[in-house]
């Protein structure tokens, strides 16, 4: 049996299973995939669909308890399904390179970036050769890092997330591989950075004739970038084809659901009407500014301006979205509104009351009307509390309910967020990310607040789960008339959800207006850049 030599990757009827407790759980089932040199293929699926298992199998990095139970796996002319560790090592770096998922944890914090690239170079080219330093600088230049000589001498913590991701790309390129696997390469980054890095990666790959395998949960990213798309669900390929065909006439229900979930392809609803000014705003920030003092370093400004002259109003039953990149001051604005930080300048009004200088004790009664949903749903729940304990915690804290009434309230709240009642006994570690976020929302709803502050409520979740959570939030707003302040780095999340949008950059308001204004007649270059960065927007505007 020989493989077709023109194909770089030829996976035939591959099944991979995980053994646990005497049972084998198939993560990949009878999957076939072939890639020619120079092709870009995207695998799309949710967490748990087996796409990372497939990538690990191609890299020969399956964990010990995983087993290839059937099929063949030809990579660069070698069958890896029964290869020894030694053979697999020869492939890694030289034939297949990996750009890992999370740039924050994927670099060794105790080695300079240059050393880490050198490691990959030396592995690929044999001994420490004289040109290694020049090669490092050249690689860093190629991946678009300015001042490469300086960067090579810095440690990972001195670089931003985007730069770290570029260093990881340089490491993947070092062995001059024929295929690069990008495993959710940018999901940890801001949208604008995400776009720049993907553009760059794609250009490098096409210049060198390298194949690219993108693994993502975001159909938008896949459609913008790939020549061919595979949609995976529970270990099986449900559909494959060129992006245009997938987008225009998806054959499988699951693909249709994914397209509906991708914000860029969702049909824009009628822009939500803004309420007339007769209502008094429920929350009002007036010329709020925040300055942090930094530890004194010679020759540097001892203060950091996080927020400047921010004014905003939130009306009852309406949604205000604050959009900006990390470091734009959007979280600071939220914390000031919550009374967790005191503003340096300006006032915060809650209805008719100036809450700027209230102490914690004075603010406490207001907490019943003002609640927060946090960013990371896994960290937002006490790991020792059952879902029941978490949900009713605010009710107990305020001493509102006891005993049977408490259990009744818990049943009602968990129904509101569409989780089964039996979940009340579970612990957070037994829930998925989307379910955790539902519990966190139920907890925030317990006190029946009038205003909910949402701090990136969906950024840690898969695209399809994002859509469900946003639907839920919208439904709750319709039924209970809650006002939202939604903080996000992603304009696409905001598009169908908010009444009004405020774009922040470096602590300053860049633009403010209704959703319709912002999306159709953006007044600043920055807003235009943000809109262009929405994955899938290229295809969506072409279609």
Q: Which residues bind another protein (CB under 8 A)?
A: 46-48, 234, 257, 338, 340, 364, 367-368, 371-372, 374-376, 379-384, 386, 388, 393-394, 397-398, 407, 411, 414-415, 418-422, 424-425, 432-435, 440, 443, 446-447, 461-462, 464-465, 468
Residues 6 or more apart whose CB falls under 8 angstroms from that of 507 comprise 290, 305, 306, 307, 308, 310, 328, 329, 332
> 41 forms bridges with which residues in the sheet?
213, 228
Give min distance, CB of 391 to another protein, in A.
10
Q: How many CA atoms lie within 13 A of 422 on its CB side?
A: 1
For 397, other C-beta atoms within 10 Å of its C-beta total 13
Distance in Å, CB of 246 to another protein, minimum:
19
CB of 471 to another protein, least distance (A): 11
Nearest residue (CB) to another protein, 368 versus 517:
368
Q: Closest CB to another protein among 53 and 116?
A: 53
CB 448 to another protein: min, Å: 13
Q: Which is nearer to another protein, 101 or 211 (CB)?
A: 101
Q: What number of other Cβ atoms are within 10 A of residue 86's Cβ?
A: 7
- In the complex with another protein, the residue whose CB is nearer, 244 or 364, is 364
Q: Nearest approach, Cβ of 430 to another protein (angstroms)? A: 12
Task: Bin 380: left if φ > 0, else alpha if -120 < ψ < 50, else beta.
Answer: alpha
Pairwise CA distance, residues 174 & 121, whole Å: 5
Identify which of 176, 159, 186 has the alpha carbon closest to the alpha carbon of residue 211.
Answer: 176
Yes or no: say if 302 and 296 are a contact pair by the CB < 8 Å rule. Answer: yes
* 299 vs 383, beta carbon nearer another protein: 383
> What's the CA gap between 471 and 231, in Å, rounded?
23
Nearer to another protein, 351 or 393 (CB): 393
Q: How far is the CB of 417 from another protein (least distance, A)?
A: 10
Q: How far is the CB of 499 from another protein (least distance, A)?
A: 24
User: Alpha-carbon distance 46 to 234, whole Å?
Assistant: 9
Nearer to another protein, 388 or 497 (CB): 388
Nearest-approach distance from CB 215 to another protein, in angstroms:
17
Residue in this structure with the two tokens 């807003």, named with its chain if needed: 527
CA dist 97 and 86 (Å) reads 17
> CB-wise, 271 or 433, nearer to another protein?
433
Asked whether the beta carbons of 324 and 486 are under 8 A apart, the reply is: no
Minimum CB distance to another protein smaller for 122 or for 366? 366
Shortest distance, CB of residue 236 to another protein, whole angstroms? 13
Task: Give the list of residues 6+ apart from residue 87 with CB closer than 8 angstroms, or none.
Answer: 78, 80
Cα angle 38-44-45, degrees, rounded to a multiple of 5: 155
Strands 211-216 and 179-183: parallel
Residue that the structure tokens 């270990």 belong to: 235
CB nearer to another protein: give 165 or 371: 371
Closest to 122 in 3D by CA, of 60, 167, 174, 165: 174
* DSSP type of residue 178: S
- State the nearest-atom distance from the C-beta of 51 to another protein, in Å: 14
The CA-atom distances, in angstroms, between 380 and each of 4, 385, 436, 465, 471 are 51, 11, 8, 17, 21
State in angstroms the smallest separation of the CB of 364 from another protein: 6
Nearer CB in complex with another protein: 340/543: 340
In 3D space, the residue among 289, 283, 336 whose CA is nearest the CA of residue 313 turns out to be 283
């Amino acid at each position: 049996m020989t493989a077709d030599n023109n194909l770089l990757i030829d996976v035939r009827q591959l099944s991979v299973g995980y053994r646990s407790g005497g049972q084998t759980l198939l993560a990949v089932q009878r999957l076939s995939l072939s890639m020619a040199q120079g092709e870009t293929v995207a695998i799309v699926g949710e967490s748990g669909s087996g796409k990372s298992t497939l990538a690990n199998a191609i890299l020969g990095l399956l964990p010990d308890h995983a087993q290839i139970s059937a099929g063949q796996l030809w990579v660069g002319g070698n069958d890896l399904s029964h290869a020894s560790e030694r053979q697999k090592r020869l492939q890694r770096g030289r034939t297949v390179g990996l750009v890992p998922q999370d740039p924050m944890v994927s670099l060794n914090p105790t080695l300079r970036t240059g050393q880490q690239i050198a490691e990959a170079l030396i592995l690929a080219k044999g001994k420490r050769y004289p040109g290694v330093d020049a090669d490092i600088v050249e690689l860093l230049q190629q991946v678009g890092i300015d001042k490469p000589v300086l960067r090579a001498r810095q440690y990972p913590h001195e670089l931003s997330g985007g730069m770290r991701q570029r260093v990881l790309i340089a490491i993947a390129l070092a062995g001059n591989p024929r295929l690069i696997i990008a495993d959710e390469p940018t999901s940890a980054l801001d949208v604008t950075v995400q776009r720049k890095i993907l553009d760059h990666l794609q250009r490098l790959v096409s210049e060198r004739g390298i194949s690219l395998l993108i693994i993502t949960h975001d159909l938008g990213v896949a459609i913008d970038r790939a020549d061919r798309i595979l949609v995976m669900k529970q270990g099986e390929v449900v559909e494959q084809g060129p992006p245009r065909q997938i987008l225009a006439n998806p054959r499988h229900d699951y693909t249709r659901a994914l397209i509906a979930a991708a914000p860029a392809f969702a049909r824009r609803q009628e822009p939500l009407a803004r309420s007339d000014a007769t209502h008094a705003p429920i929350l009002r920030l007036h010329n709020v500014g925040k300055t942090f003092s930094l530890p004194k370093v010679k020759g540097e400004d001892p203060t950091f301006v996080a927020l400047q002259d921010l004014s905003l109003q939130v009306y009852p039953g309406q949604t205000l979205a604050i959009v900006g990149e990390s470091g734009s001051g959007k979280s600071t604005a939220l914390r000031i509104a919550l009374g967790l930080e005191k503003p340096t300048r300006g006032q915060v009004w809650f209805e008719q009351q100036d809450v700027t200088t209230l102490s914690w004790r004075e603010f406490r009664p207001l907490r019943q009307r003002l609640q927060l949903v946090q960013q990371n749903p896994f960290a937002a729940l006490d790991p020792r509390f059952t879902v029941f304990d978490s949900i009713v915690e605010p009710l107990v804290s305020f001493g509102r309910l006891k005993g049977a009434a408490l259990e009744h309230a818990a049943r009602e709240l968990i129904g509101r967020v569409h989780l089964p009642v039996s979940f009340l006994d579970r612990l957070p570690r037994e829930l998925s990310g989307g379910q955790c976020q539902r519990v966190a929302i139920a907890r925030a709803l317990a006190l029946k607040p009038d205003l909910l502050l949402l701090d990136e409520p969906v950024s840690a979740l898969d695209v399809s789960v994002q859509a469900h959570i946003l639907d839920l939030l919208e439904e709750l707003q319709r039924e209970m008339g809650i006002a939202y302040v939604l903080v996000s780095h992603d304009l696409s999340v905001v598009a169908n959800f908010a009444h009004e949008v405020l774009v922040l950059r470096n602590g300053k308001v860049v633009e403010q207006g209704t959703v319709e204004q912002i999306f159709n007649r953006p007044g600043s270059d920055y807003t235009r850049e943000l809109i262009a960065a929405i994955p899938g927007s290229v295809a969506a505007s072409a279609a």
